[in-house]
Each structure stands twice: as structure tokens, then as C-alpha cells.
Amino acid sequence: MEKLLERDLLKEKIDSLRQKGKKIAFTNGCFDILHVGHIRYLKEARKTADILVLALNSDSSVRAIKGDKRPLVTELERAEVLAALECIDFITIFPEPTPLELINCLKPDVLVKGGDWPLEQIVGRNEIKQWGGHVELIAEVEGKSTTDIVQKIISAHCKKS
């Protein structure tokens, strides 16, 4: 996967693109089961800059956030599916509990998060302002979440048993 890069190589690419005048957007998430809410969000995120970097939670960080039964799809499979989307330029997998270290490393111009996030809870919001960047909130697609999909599957399966 050409889009999936280790942190050091990604930083080199981003620095090179920035020198060419490109504006860099950064978003992150688990993206466990890709759905229409994700697609709409990522397309809107891409509109905020010339380049969109997606930081993907590793399997271990997803477990820490979502519990032992997640992720349902491995990090490399999630990365491969996401890499197929034209709106994403680069993907990197991060094992830390938050993407703060990665945000500080890449210094994006735009930090993109879903509109369901209160501004004061967005990791990196203060740091991005230090280098002249800003936070962009993208409206969520009502009723479209991985958790909702998983619950529908469980409900449908339990009714059949």
C-alpha cells in the first residue's frame, strides 16, 4: 500500500509537500467498519486542505478505547480499505492512546474532527494554534456509527436464534 507510511517517512513527505506550498489536513480514528458516515466525513475532511493524512488507531489502541471485543477488523485490513479511498492521501497507524505525538510531529495546518466532539476535548487543538493552524469540525451523519451497525447486527442475529 503506497499510502500507508511509517511516521518518519510520512514526516519527510509532509515536509516536502509543505515546502511546495501544500496545505496539510490531519484526522484520526478507528474506522473499524467503514460506513457512509465515515465516507462523507472523509470527503469533507479532504476539502479542508490539499493533502489529507489519516492517523489510524492501532488494534491495541482501539481495544483500549472501545473494549476487548474491538476492533472487528485488523489495523492492516482497515488501512487497506481506507487506502482505496481517493480522498485520503496518506495513512499512518499509531499505537498511542491519542494522536498528540503524531500531530506535534507532522504539524498539520488543519486538524479535522467530527462535529460531535466538543472543542475542549479535541486532542491537539491548543498545539495546532501554536503554529498557525486551526481546527475544522465536520458535521456527523446522524445515526451512522460503527457502534450502531454492530448493535443492529447483534439484534438481528439474536432475533433469529
In the chain, what are the domain boundaries? Answer: 7-160
Whether the CB-CB separation of 53 and 5 falls below 8 Å is answered with no
Say what the pLDDT of residue 160 is.
55
Please give the pLDDT value at position 145: 72
Give one DSSP letter per residue of 32-72, joined into a string.
-S--HHHHHHHHHHHTTSSEEEEEEEPHHHHHHHH-TT--S
Contacts of 46 (CB under 8 A, 6+ apart): 25, 52, 87, 88
Whole-number pLDDT of residue 150: 75
pLDDT of residue 153: 78
Tens digit of each residue's pLDDT, the chain (161 residues): 799 999 999 999 999 999 999 999 999 999 998 999 999 999 999 999 999 999 999 999 999 998 998 999 999 999 999 999 999 999 999 999 999 999 999 999 999 999 888 889 999 999 999 999 999 999 877 766 777 777 787 788 886 55
pLDDT recorded at residue 143? 66
Per-residue pLDDT, 156:
86
Burial per residue of 52-61, b for 16 or more beta-carbon CB atoms within 10 angstroms, e otherwise: bbbbbbbbeb
What is the CATH superfamily name and number for domain 7-160? Answer: HUPs (3.40.50.620)
Residues 6+ apart with CB under 8 A from 79: 1, 4, 56, 91, 93
Q: How far is Cα of residue 59 from the mean position of the Cα atoms in its chain? A: 14
List the one residue out of 78, 41, 39, 33 whose CA is nearest residue 58: 78
- The C-alpha cell 483500549 sits at 64
DSSP structural state of residue 116: T
**Exposure on the CB side of residue 37, measured as CA atoms within 13 A:** 19
State the pLDDT at residue 155: 83
CA-based radius of gyration for the chain: 16
